[in-house]
Amino acid sequence: MHAQPLDLTRLWGEGWAITFAPRTPAFCLDAMGVDEPAPLPDGLAAFAQRTPFDGPPVLVAAAVLDERWSVVVESEAQTGWVGTHPDVLETLAAPEAPACTAFSDPNKVQVVFREYGSLVGGLEPRTNRRWGHFGDHTRQSLREAGFPDDYATPQHPVPAAPSEGALALLAAQAITRAELRAEHLKGPWLGGLTAKPYPTTP
């Protein structure tokens, strides 16, 4: 069920974070520290009007994926990504529906997630190095998407993808069973500024 993911590295460069959550866009933005979310008439084009030197506060945008899932995008983070906060992931998760953030910057590409009522789990998609809590459902979903259970080896590689960022997105989509498609990037978005302090991820 997992098609080839979008190559967000090609679209947005090395710095971005994307969060999948089983919540409404407004709920997601509130959890991520946005006090006054507003419609973004030009969608993600609003990011192009800002530079990395503008934040914090930084711009965060959210949109509906389907009847259950929303997606949240960040494209500025000098000190980290708000979507990787353990408390944010805890707030966004729902029973049988984890919240998950894939992120890429010049120094690391990782996926972090939180299953409802559990501790944070994470993986490095290129090597398949894992840490934290992985429930049986998450392990099975990653297996079905082509990720081995242990470290990637020539005999048991991770799936082919156009970039490491695309591989991270594939893993996030597998964990959540949600999918970001090109048409989602062009639709209506809701956004606002957040100054929520950022964590240091593993």
pLDDT in tens, 162-201: 889 999 999 999 999 999 999 888 878 999 988 775 554 4
Please state, in angstroms and rounded to a whole number, the distance separating the CA atoms of residues 134 and 160: 23
Q: Place 44 in a pLDDT band, splitting at 50, 70 and 90.
A: confident
3-state SS, residue 19:
strand
Mean pLDDT of the chain: 88
Q: How many domains does the chain have?
A: 1
- Please check the confidence at residue 138 and state whether its pLDDT lies above 90: yes
> Taking the C-alpha atoms of 23, 28, 30 and 32 in order, what is their torsion angle to the nearest 10 degrees?
150
AA identity, residue 46:
A
Q: Which two tokens stand for residue 90?
A: 């805890």
The answer to whether the predicted template modeling score (pTM) of the entire model surpasses 0.85 is yes
In a domain, 195, yes or no: no
In a domain, 34, yes or no: yes
- Please check the confidence at residue 23 and state whether its pLDDT lies above 60: yes
Pick the closest to residue 12 from 85, 66, 57, 61 (CA basis).
61
In a domain, 200, yes or no: no
- Tell me the residue range of the domain where 80 lies: 8-180
- Please check the confidence at residue 1 and state whether its pLDDT lies above 50: no
- Please check the confidence at residue 114 and state whether its pLDDT lies above 60: yes
What is the per-residue pLDDT across 55-80, written as a single tens digit (0 to 9) for each? 567 889 999 999 999 999 997 766 57
pLDDT at res. 64: 95
In a domain, 198, yes or no: no
Structure-model confidence comparison of residues 4 and 91, the more confident one: 91
- Please check the confidence at residue 3 and state whether its pLDDT lies above 70: no
pLDDT at res. 15: 84
In a domain, 189, yes or no: no
In a domain, 199, yes or no: no
Scanning the structure block, which residue is given the tokens 């953030």? 101
- Helix axis angle for 164-176 and 136-144, nearest 10°, is 130
In a domain, 123, yes or no: yes
pLDDT at res. 106: 79
In a domain, 190, yes or no: no
pLDDT at res. 202: 44
